[in-house]
Structure 1
Amino acid sequence: MAVEPESLEWSLPVPSVQELAIQGLQTVPASYVRDDTDIIITTPSDPSLRIPLIDMTKLVNPDSQQQEIQRLHSACKEWGLFQIINHGVSDESLSNMKEHVRGFFDLPLQEKKHWAQKPGSLEGYGQAFVTSEEQKLEWNDMIFLRTRPLQNRNLNFWPEKPQGFRKALETYSEDLSRLAVSIIRFIAMGLGVEAQQYSETYREGLYDIRMNCYPPCPEPERVLGFNPHADISGITLLLECGDTAGLQVLKDGHWVVVEPIDGALVANLGHVTQIMSNGIYKAPDHRAMVNKSKQRLSIVTFCYPNSSANIGPAEKLIKSGSPPLFTTLKCEEYFHRFYNRKLEVSFIDSLKI
């Protein structure tokens, strides 16, 4: 009997679903079968349910900036999620990162286990938030790494194979942190709050990267690749490693498929931004589905303000007459509350005044 984790900051070891997929199973093991959720939901054809597309070149161009900021504001208010194109991260950085993530998940299991999670930490290769031997498992393998600031890195978990992985990850995390600062500034401008001050807290912010492998599944309609959840970040940036759709976002009661766009990044708001906006913006529920014949790989960057930041409604929004909907916490306390709650407790609800 495994010792159950005392908090969400570490996870019980579970089988590799990549290895299960390799075995050529015809049916899914019972521990993955979901009878508690309606999994087969297709994207409605309603044109109002198309994922917003934001063009970074229009955000930085003075002639088109106001109009694109308004589109960004609407996307954050109505969806909490958008795809961003012309974002300035080089094709080389994106393709290099994708190639090394593929290379890592292609390694034999025993090789990948060199960087396996250890009790007491979510970092490394394994699974997240498995706190009980009875809970339903997700159809994915992952490696989770803290990348910025530099002193947060634990290189014991950073793969040395495939060769060049660490360098690719370092470059990519630098590129994504710069992009996050820029996006956050425009989000703050859309809200009419202190854009420079708010975006600066992300310049030396906390950045974590989770790389996901969703192998082919013999019964995709019976499992989830990732349970429905909202992120606790300020913003989350997702890069698809191929053209296999899997991400879905909940909008007006519909699970809408986020179709991959070559070269684009998917941005979704987390609870930090929902709180900062005093509820004007919402961190959307999203989930991952799996495919019967295709593997899907994704690279997810969680972007947070720096550890000394206060997480609370923006002063300007409160001064304008709206009462604060959320309590203000130090970043450290915010994380402590998240990791030391029960999984079934809504985190954002626990922060409401």
Structure 2
Amino acid sequence: MVIAIDLIGSSRNTNLFVHSLRIDFGKMMGLEPKNLHSSIPVPSVQELASLQLEAEPSRYIRDDMDSIISTVPSDNTLRVPLIDMTKLVDSESQETASKASCCMQRRGIFQLINHGVSDESLRNMNKQTQEFFDLPLKEKKRWAQKPGSLEGYGQAFVTSEEQKLDWNDMFFLKALPIEDRNLEIWPENPPKFRYSQDMRQIAVALIRFRAMGLEIETRELCAAYEEGLYQIRMNYYPPCPQPERVTGFTPHVDIPGFAMLLDCGDTPGLQVLRDGQWIFVKPLDGAVVVDMGQITEILSNGLYKAPEHRAVVNKSKERRSIVTFCYPNLSFKVGPAKELIKLGIPPLYKTVTVEEYLGCFFNRKLEVPFIDTLKI
């Protein structure tokens, strides 16, 4: 990792000395950058749940967090917005795009219906995910994460033996571009375990309307997502004896342009933070949940906010979900859109390539919010 520091003085030796002091101080304070490219192996949560324990192991207990259990909202005012994609596509109007953009700006997360992905395709993705997690543990371990990589079966971002763990198992794959696929870890069982390019088509369409809403150039942005990076994470959240004391997924903000989540069933689990309150995103059959990430927040120069969200678990029901992370291509420059800066609004963030952006994320101090490291 290239560490950016303020150099003092003009002497090269002085600069190196200051650099050394700051790194040593960071290590003393436990603030040295973490390598998040790989994860320490942890027990299968699915196997722990099968033991029907009366309580979770201590590494999963999160008494340090606020109340985890919340009520599924019945009031429409507590629901995330619902957007019909056919109305966006059919209208082709700046006004409609602006309304959708305003909705995205206020909430940062919404459910998308009539998105063009067939019910058959969604059912197939759901079925393949279930078939994988239904495999015996010995079989699933054939695709366990290897040192230096997050791809495969396991958990993400576990960097120490003392770290608290989430109550989930995951299977993570790089799906697009095709040359990024590591076919050694793509499961052979179940057969035909392949992803379509449907999510990329949704991503490019959404980016187009987002750009229209911000009144910025669409061609370059759409091309960047046409050639972008698409990564798939399949999640399994087994039943949990004490759901009020664990998290399925720790509160976080996503870093790509956006993420698209497909709930495989009707068990609520995704929660988003709104006005200091955690509310459920109720699963809606056939809908895709679209969650804005920090690349979009930077592109909009802070007009859009990537929402904080988390996953909770259920005492008696399992939950599965499939998340697609959508990035522009590696050479695309992530920074405030030039059209916004021309309006006299000062840029809030640095401009870096996607490759540099990911390098900063995967080699960073966990104590510092990632987006803060990119602020000017």
After TM superposition, the structure 1 stretch with the greater mean CA deviation from structure 2, 188-197 or 19-28, is 188-197
Of the three residues 141, 154, 166, the one matched with 1:138 is: 166
Shift of 1:69: 2.0
The residue aligned with 1:60 is 89
The residue aligned with 1:351 is 374
- What pairs up with 1:17-28 in 2 under 5 angstroms? 17-28=45-56
* Counterpart contact for 1:231–1:269, Cα < 8 Å: yes
* Counterpart contact for 1:226–1:288, Cα < 8 Å: yes
The residue aligned with 2:244 is 221
* Counterpart contact for 1:236–1:303, Cα < 8 Å: yes
Aligned pair in 2 of structure 1 residues 67, 52: CA closer, same or farther (>3 Å)?
Answer: farther
The residue aligned with 1:269 is 292
Shift of 1:73: 1.3
Q: Name the amino acid aligned to 1:162.
A: P
- What pairs up with 1:323-334 in 2 under 5 angstroms? 323-334=346-357
- What pairs up with 1:277-292 in 2 under 5 angstroms? 277-292=300-315
Q: Name the amino acid aligned to 2:312.
A: M
Q: Percent identity?
A: 62
- What pairs up with 1:1-353 in 2 under 5 angstroms? 7-38=35-66, 39-42=68-71, 47-62=76-91, 65-166=93-194, 169=195, 171=196, 174-353=197-376
Q: Name the amino acid aligned to 1:100.
A: Q
* Counterpart contact for 2:94–2:212, Cα < 8 Å: no
Runs of 4+ that moved beyond 6 A: none
* TM-score (normalizing by structure 1): 0.94
Aligned pair in 2 of structure 1 residues 262, 284: CA closer, same or farther (>3 Å)?
Answer: same
Shift of 1:48: 3.5
Shift of 1:256: 1.2
Q: Give SS of 1:350's match.
A: helix
Q: Name the amino acid aligned to 1:134.
A: E
Task: State which structure, 1 or 2, has the greater radius of gyration over its C-alpha atoms.
Answer: 2
Q: Name the amino acid aligned to 1:333.
A: E
Looking at structure 1, the residues matched to 287 and 107 of structure 2 have their Cα atoms a distance apart, in angstroms, of 17
Q: Name the amino acid aligned to 2:212.
A: M
Unaligned runs of 5+ in 2: 1-32
Looking at structure 1, the residues matched to 61 and 216 of structure 2 have their Cα atoms a distance apart, in angstroms, of 45
Shift of 1:112: 0.3
The residue aligned with 2:29 is none
* Counterpart contact for 1:42–1:255, Cα < 8 Å: no
Aligned residues: 343
Q: Give SS of 1:165's match.
A: coil
Shift of 1:291: 0.4
Shift of 1:59: 0.1
Looking at structure 1, the residues matched to 305 and 103 of structure 2 have their Cα atoms a distance apart, in angstroms, of 10
* Counterpart contact for 2:171–2:234, Cα < 8 Å: yes
Shift of 1:42: 3.2
Looking at structure 1, the residues matched to 370 and 38 of structure 2 have their Cα atoms a distance apart, in angstroms, of 18
Q: Name the amino acid aligned to 2:199.
A: L
Q: Give SS of 1:189's match.
A: helix
Looking at structure 2, the residues matched to 310 and 140 of structure 1 have their Cα atoms a distance apart, in angstroms, of 34
Shift of 1:46: 6.0
Looking at structure 2, the residues matched to 200 and 255 of structure 1 have their Cα atoms a distance apart, in angstroms, of 36
* TM-score (normalizing by structure 2): 0.89
* Counterpart contact for 2:117–2:198, Cα < 8 Å: yes
* Counterpart contact for 1:54–1:68, Cα < 8 Å: no
Looking at structure 1, the residues matched to 208 and 343 of structure 2 have their Cα atoms a distance apart, in angstroms, of 20
After TM superposition, the structure 1 stretch with the greater mean CA deviation from structure 2, 261-270 or 339-348, is 339-348
Looking at structure 2, the residues matched to 6 and 274 of structure 1 have their Cα atoms a distance apart, in angstroms, of 24
Q: Give SS of 2:131's match.
A: helix
Q: Name the amino acid aligned to 2:232.
A: I
Shift of 1:68: 3.7
Looking at structure 1, the residues matched to 344 and 97 of structure 2 have their Cα atoms a distance apart, in angstroms, of 24
| Deviations 1:213-243, CA, capped at 9 Å, x for gaps | 0000010000000000000000100001100
CA RMSD of aligned residues (A): 1.4
Q: Name the amino acid aligned to 2:89.
A: V
Q: Name the amino acid aligned to 2:53.
A: L
Q: Give SS of 1:179's match.
A: helix
Q: Give SS of 2:268's match.
A: coil
Looking at structure 2, the residues matched to 46 and 321 of structure 1 have their Cα atoms a distance apart, in angstroms, of 41
Shift of 1:342: 2.2
* Counterpart contact for 2:60–2:166, Cα < 8 Å: yes
Looking at structure 2, the residues matched to 181 and 260 of structure 1 have their Cα atoms a distance apart, in angstroms, of 24
